[in-house]
């Protein structure tokens, strides 16, 4: 739904001098308000110019367009970098690394159980939970929790971090049964060093992608200065003034 700029806060003359450039807020048919609207209130100038962040440009003045291939690569790389949320990361790393880490983290039995189950990515969830434990606690703390869980008969007897983990497990998996709670703890203890190695590996991978992105950006923006110089020549600056009341 379109907004009508009906409350002018600032204005100045348009380039031809017959009208104005105005800035203010607008309302739509539902009385919703939009702040920060800017319009050219002159039929002639409105036909000729468009408003950009630092002035007016001829309506048909093109946007900057860099090398198309570099542009595609840029958005692909940014996608991977921005979607990386830490953790085990394997979702975005392609099949090879995904399989490598799956076999590193899981026992043959767990892999078989996972492949037999119809739920895709069960293993990913289990590893994710145990990886969170490894992120949050030291190996010693996890070993202590593991020891408690091996010696207690019920999770109500757990104390300290072991109890904390059990509560977290209940929140996540809806069960606090000791034989269930201990599974990710065992996994976290077993994989502790692997998780730390994976973090470092991922970090290196991400920074290599960032480096690549920097290079691709340089290619994409290689004519930008020239474009900018030409753009400035066509740019018409103006200065809005507060409307006197
Ligand atoms: Zn005008």
- What distance in angstroms lies between residue 47's CA and the mean position of ligand 1's atoms? 9
| pLDDT at residue 71 in the model | 96
- What distance in angstroms lies between residue 19's CA and the mean position of ligand 1's atoms? 5
Q: Give the whole-angstrom CA distance, residue 154 versus residue 162.
A: 12
- What distance in angstroms lies between residue 45's CA and the mean position of ligand 1's atoms? 4
- What distance in angstroms lies between residue 232's CA and the mean position of ligand 1's atoms? 20
| pLDDT at residue 21 in the model | 98
- What distance in angstroms lies between residue 192's CA and the mean position of ligand 1's atoms? 69
- What distance in angstroms lies between residue 35's CA and the mean position of ligand 1's atoms? 24
- What distance in angstroms lies between residue 7's CA and the mean position of ligand 1's atoms? 20
Instruction: Name residue, tokens 């037999």.
Output: 116
Query: What is the full per-residue pLDDT of the chain (245 aa) written as tens digits?
Result: 799 999 999 999 999 999 999 999 999 999 999 999 999 999 999 999 999 999 999 999 999 999 999 999 999 999 888 877 655 554 556 677 777 888 888 888 888 887 887 766 667 777 889 999 999 999 999 999 999 999 999 889 999 999 999 999 999 889 899 999 999 999 999 999 999 998 888 888 889 999 999 999 999 999 999 999 999 999 999 999 999 76
- What distance in angstroms lies between residue 21's CA and the mean position of ligand 1's atoms? 8
| pLDDT at residue 110 in the model | 84
- Both tokens assigned to 24: 């203010």
- What distance in angstroms lies between residue 58's CA and the mean position of ligand 1's atoms? 13
Residue 10: burial class (beta carbons within 10 Å; 0-12, 13-18, 19+): middle
- Both tokens assigned to 74: 């840029």
- What distance in angstroms lies between residue 227's CA and the mean position of ligand 1's atoms? 26
Predicted model pTM: 0.66
- What distance in angstroms lies between residue 14's CA and the mean position of ligand 1's atoms? 5
- What distance in angstroms lies between residue 228's CA and the mean position of ligand 1's atoms? 25
Alpha helices, DSSP H, located in the chain: 43-48, 68-83, 95-105, 108-116, 122-136, 139-151, 160-173, 178-220, 224-234
- What distance in angstroms lies between residue 143's CA and the mean position of ligand 1's atoms? 76
- What distance in angstroms lies between residue 167's CA and the mean position of ligand 1's atoms? 68
């Amino acid at each position: 739904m379109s907004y009508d700029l009906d409350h002018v806060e600032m204005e100045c003359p348009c380039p031809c001098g017959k009208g104005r450039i105005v800035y203010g807020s607008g309302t739509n048919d539902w009385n919703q308000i939009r702040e920060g609207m800017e319009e050219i209130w002159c039929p002639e100038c409105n036909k000729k110019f468009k408003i950009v962040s630092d002035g007016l440009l001829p309506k048909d003045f093109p946007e900057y367009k860099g090398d198309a291939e570099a542009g595609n690569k840029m958005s692909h790389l940014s996608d991977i970098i921005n979607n990386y949320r830490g953790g085990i990361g394997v979702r975005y790393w392609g099949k090879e690394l995904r399989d490598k880490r799956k076999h590193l983290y899981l026992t043959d039995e767990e892999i078989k159980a996972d492949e037999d189950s119809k739920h895709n990515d069960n293993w990913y969830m289990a590893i994710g939970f145990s990886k969170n434990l490894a992120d949050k606690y030291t190996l010693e703390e996890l070993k202590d929790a593991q020891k408690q869980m091996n010696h207690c008969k019920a999770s109500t007897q757990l104390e300290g971090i072991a109890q904390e983990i059990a509560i977290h497990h209940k929140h996540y998996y809806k069960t606090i049964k000791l034989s269930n709670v201990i599974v990710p703890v065992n996994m976290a203890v077993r994989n502790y060093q692997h998780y730390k190695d994976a973090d470092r590996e991922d970090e290196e991978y991400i920074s290599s992608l960032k480096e690549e992105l920097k290079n691709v950006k340089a290619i994409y923006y290689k004519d930008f200065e020239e474009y900018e110089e030409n753009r400035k020549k066509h740019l018409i600056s103006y200065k809005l003034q507060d409307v006197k009341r």
